[in-house]
Amino acid sequence: MASSGWRISLHGGHSGEFCEHAEGSLRSILEAACRANYAVFGVSEHMPRVEPRYLYATERQKGWTVHTLEQLFEQYALAVRQLAKEFEGRLTVLCGFEIEVVPPDRWVQLVERYRRDYGFDYIVGSVHFVRDGGIDSSVDDPDTRRALRECGGIENLALEYYQAVAEMVRAVRPEVVAHFDLVRLLAHRLGEAHLCETPRVSTAALHALEAVREAGSLLEVNTAGIRKGLGTPYPAAWIVQAAAQMGIPFCISDDSHRPSQVGFGLDAAREHLLQNGVREVHFLTRDHGAIVRAVAAL
């Protein structure tokens, strides 16, 4: 039987306290991480979207504003540090945040400022928007539909998505690259999943993987892909194989947004890696106050 030292998540812990589309308190998330026998649990709440056009419809319905998001993020930065100290001895809690690549003209400066001003341990690099349309939103979302029209369909949107991933990785060199093929979810919802694996899109994905390799980032296997009906974690098997051949290190994340999702799909993620030639996972942890990289066998 494999050691359980690989049971580590570096992306997730989104809670209803600080994220409109999550549920439960951050404390309840961390208690669930203890029950799931995590050794290390990285909390990575979403950074604020600082312009009103990026507010989700559900946030607007609740009367949330850009100021609401900024206030909650500041509260999160304080709370996660306090809870990390409280859980010492039971769980190593890392304090991070998941980035956004909007607004296009200043997201890099925002990421750098949040990381510096709040002293976060690490960042999770994500791309959720292409041409200001949410690629993990409903296919009926007006901005998503507009982005698809402007791109000329899902294949071209996927090309722009992978270009954005590569640019994001090169610009901020995140410790973790999240749900690398998130665009696959939108393609699946459109009934056009095959268009995310055309030769053109595959080439763009490989170029983005090269950026990940050059940056030395960890590529996560994210179990939310299973929860959302894709059949496998993110990224797809062929991407895992390609990244492994390139020597890119992997980590595992549950991308949890409520206590019941903490620890979801970990065994499936492990099997996904093993079946595609990966025998170890890399992760971040805390050693005498410093954030260091470590490795665990699967």
Cis peptide before 48 (omega within 30 of 0): no
- Kindly report the backbone phi and psi dihedral angles of residue 201, in degrees, each rounded to the nearest multiple of 5, phi listed first: -70, -40
CA angle 215, 219, 221 (to 5 degrees): 175
Is 15 a residue whose pLDDT tops 90? yes
- Residue 237: how many CB atoms within 10 A of its CB? 13
Q: What is the mean pLDDT of residues 132-148?
A: 94
The overall average pLDDT reported for the chain is: 97
Percent above pLDDT 70 for the chain: 99
**Alpha-carbon dihedral angle through residues 123, 283, 11, 38, given to the nearest 10 degrees:** -140
Is 119 a residue whose pLDDT tops 80? yes
Percent above pLDDT 90 for the chain: 97
Query: What integer pLDDT is reported at residue 161 of this predicted model?
Result: 98
Contacts of 195 (CB under 8 A, 6+ apart): 153, 154, 155, 158, 187, 201
Q: Cα separation of 19 and 45, whole Å?
A: 7
Q: Cα separation of 241 and 232, whole Å?
A: 14
CA angle 11, 13, 16 (to 5 degrees): 140
Q: Which two tokens stand for residue 200?
A: 């053109």
Cis peptide before 235 (omega within 30 of 0): yes
Residue that has been written with the tokens 């100021």 in this structure: 67
Residue that has been written with the tokens 């055309």 in this structure: 198
Q: Assess contact for 184 and 142: CB atoms under 8 A.
A: no
Is 223 a residue whose pLDDT tops 60? yes
- pLDDT band, very low/low/confident/very high, at 4 (cuts 50, 70, 90): confident
For the packed helices 142-151 and 154-172, what is the interaxial angle rounded to 10 degrees? 100
Is 112 a residue whose pLDDT tops 80? yes
- pLDDT band, very low/low/confident/very high, at 116 (cuts 50, 70, 90): very high
Query: What integer pLDDT is reported at residue 3 of this predicted model?
Result: 54
Is 2 a residue whose pLDDT tops 70? no
pLDDT per residue over 255-284, tens digit each?
Answer: 999 999 999 999 999 999 999 999 999 999
CATH class of 4-297: alpha beta
pLDDT per residue over 81-103, tens digit each?
Answer: 999 999 999 999 999 999 999 99
Query: What 3-state DSSP class applies to 285?
Result: strand
Handedness of CA 99, 25, 225, 188 (dihedral sign): negative
Give the length of the chain: 298
Q: What is the mean pLDDT of residues 11-30?
A: 98
pLDDT per residue over 187-197, tens digit each?
Answer: 999 999 999 99
pTM over the 0.85 mark? yes
Element (H, E) at 251: strand 250-253
